Structure 1
Amino acid sequence: MMEFRVLPDDHADLSLSPLLRAARLTIGYADAHGGIGLTATKAFRRDFVHWAVEHFDWPGQSAAEVFRYRRLINEADFQPLELLHFLLIRLRLGRHHKGSFKVNNDGRMFAAQPGALFDRLIPSFLLAMDHAAYSRIGEPAPGNWNTWLNVMNVEIESGISERQLYGVFYGDGPDWDNDGWRQIAAFSACVLKPLEWSGLIAMQEAREPNGRPAHMIFKTPLWQSVLRLDTDDMVRPAIRH
């Protein structure tokens, strides 16, 4: 089993969650500006999309990266915002009204209480979302969150490469340079990316022993602060040099 602890609003580790930060920024912007304008297809208008790109400080998608190849960005071009828009509506923290996204009283209340907002937003995002639906691969990863989190709790304590972690769950056959790359990509999109966006893991560029580029996966302090897992007693503290 797994359990999410509710953290106090002033807990420093809450600042490590990109999705929480983006949600508070979006709610705050909508409240301060009387709403966020919508397109005819009910997406956020470009003026806010550009503001979000510049202010979200999203891992792996800095403003410089996003604007490198195009100057006009739609909501669909910035996936974190498109996903967040969906979540805010689904969790009833705001609604569409007369061509704008409007914050409601629950949205204002939760935005002022980061610990409570994290508890409302992140478990729903991780456990209830169909992550395959918004991935480029479109394929789910076999498994479930109880297994993934409890195994990762032990395996990533000292850091592990994305490929090595995939092997822990599914074996060593698939690799990025053979036909198994789709399975690894599905695992990355449906498990690792949601954890990174939630702020529970950090992914760093590195190289494997054979010299190949790799993403190394580490727990963030937020993982230890917010998650209570069956394997907690099995975790050996990482040796830090």
Structure 2
Amino acid sequence: MMVFRTLSDDHSDLAHSPLLRAALLTLHYAQDHGAIGLTQTKAFKRVFVHWAVKHFDWPGSGADGMFRYNKVINEYEFPPLEVLHYLLITLRLGRHFKGEFRLTKRGAELAQSPGRLLAELIPFFILDIDHASYARFAERPDGKWDVWMNVINVEADHGTTDHALFAAFYGDGHDRGNVGWREMAAFSSCVLRPLEWAGLLIETDEERAGKHVHHIFKTPLWRSALNLDIDGMLQPVPVQ
């Protein structure tokens, strides 16, 4: 069983979620400007895409890096915004009307309630989205979210690596440098990355013996927002 708790609007752990931060910025922008302009294909217009790239402060997709080689960026070239746009429409927090994205009454209400917005946004994003649809590859890893989440809950409790997590589910012998790299990439794209975007995991890189090692840690938001079957088996986190 996996339960997502609703946190208070002033809970400090909400700050760990890039997706929540992006959603709040988008909803507030639409409120402040009355609407967000859409292209003929119903994507956000470039003026807002550029604003989002600059203000989302998205991990791994900072404004300096994205604008270094691309002076013009479309919505589909900034996947976090494309996914967020879909989420806001599907959850009926916004709607398309006469060439614009406008907030619904519900969207306007949740824009003022970060805790409730997280409780609406994150479970749907993690559990109901086809994460392979915006990944580089169409492959999907075998498994279910309740198993992935409970095992990660234990394996990453005091930090682990992406390789060790993959091995916990699918066995050792896979590596980004051998024939198993596609399976590892699918697991990273469809399991680890959504959890990072949600703000439940954080990844750091280290170069060791000429190879990049990807360390995975649970964020404080994981502990405050999730209630999982095996929480009682975990050792208390040492107080610094």
TM-score scaled to structure 1, two decimals?
0.97
Match of 2:39 in 1: 39
Q: Which residue of 1 is the match for residue 27 of structure 2?
A: 27
Counterpart of 1:217?
216
**Alpha-carbon contact 1:158-1:239 (below 8 Å) kept:** no
Helix, strand or coil: the match of 2:13? helix
Q: Distance in 2 between matches of 1:240 and 1:212?
A: 32
Q: What does the per-residue CA deviation read over 1:44-102, in whole Å, with 9 as the maximum and x for residues that have no partner?
A: 00000000000001011111111121110000000000000000000000100011101
CA distance in 2, matches of 1:237, 1:77: 41
Listed as ranges, the matches of 1:10-159 within 5 Å are 10-159=10-159
Alignment partner of 2:84: what SS?
helix
Unaligned runs of 5+ in 2: none
Q: 1:164 to 1:239 in 2, by over 3 A?
A: farther
1:198, distance to aligned residue in structure 2 (A): 0.3
Displacement after TM superposition at 1:203 (Å): 0.4
Query: What is the distance in 2 between the residues matched to 1:25 and 1:61?
Result: 16
For the residues of structure 2 that align with 1:127 and 1:170, how far apart are their CA atoms? 21
Aligned length: 240
Moved more, 51-60 or 61-70: 61-70
The aligned runs of 1:144-223 (5 Å cut-off) are 144-208=144-208, 210-223=209-222
TM-score normalised by the chain length of structure 2: 0.97
Structure 2: which amino acid aligns with 1:218? F
Give the deviation of 1:211 after TM superposition: 4.6
Find the counterpart in structure 1 of residue 234 from structure 2.
235
Q: Which moved more, 1:157-166 or 1:217-226?
A: 157-166
Which letter maps to 1:181? W
| Counterparts of 1:146 and 1:30, CA distance in 2 | 35
Q: CA offset at residue 173 of structure 1? A: 1.6
- In the TM superposition, residue 238 of structure 1 has moved relative to its aligned partner by 5.1
- The one-letter code sitting in structure 1 at the alignment partner of 2:2 is M
Moved >6 Å (runs of 4+): none
* CA RMSD across the alignment: 1.3
Determine if contact 1:154/1:236 at 8 Å carries over to the other structure: no
Once residues 144 and 237 of structure 1 are traced to their aligned partners in structure 2, the CA distance between those partners, rounded to angstroms, is 27
Where structure 1 has 5 or more consecutive residues not aligned to the other structure, the ranges are none
Aligned partner of 2:212: which letter?
A: P
Query: 1: CA distance between counterparts of 2:19 and 2:131?
Result: 15
Structure 1 residue 31 displacement after superposition: 1.1
Distance apart, 1:130 and its partner CA: 0.7
Q: Distance in 2 between matches of 1:146 and 1:108?
A: 32
CA distance in structure 2 between the aligned counterparts of 1:218 and 1:130, rounded to whole angstroms: 24
For residues 71 and 125 of structure 2, what CA distance do their matches in structure 1 show?
A: 30
Matched with 1:7 is: 7
Measured in 1, the distance between the counterparts of 2:9 and 2:239 equals 29
Amino acid in the other structure paired with 1:33: H
Query: What CA distance in whole angstroms lies between the structure 1 residues aligned with 2:232 and 2:210?
Result: 34
Which deviates the most, 134-143 or 81-90?
134-143
The residue matched to 1:58 in structure 2 has which SS?
coil
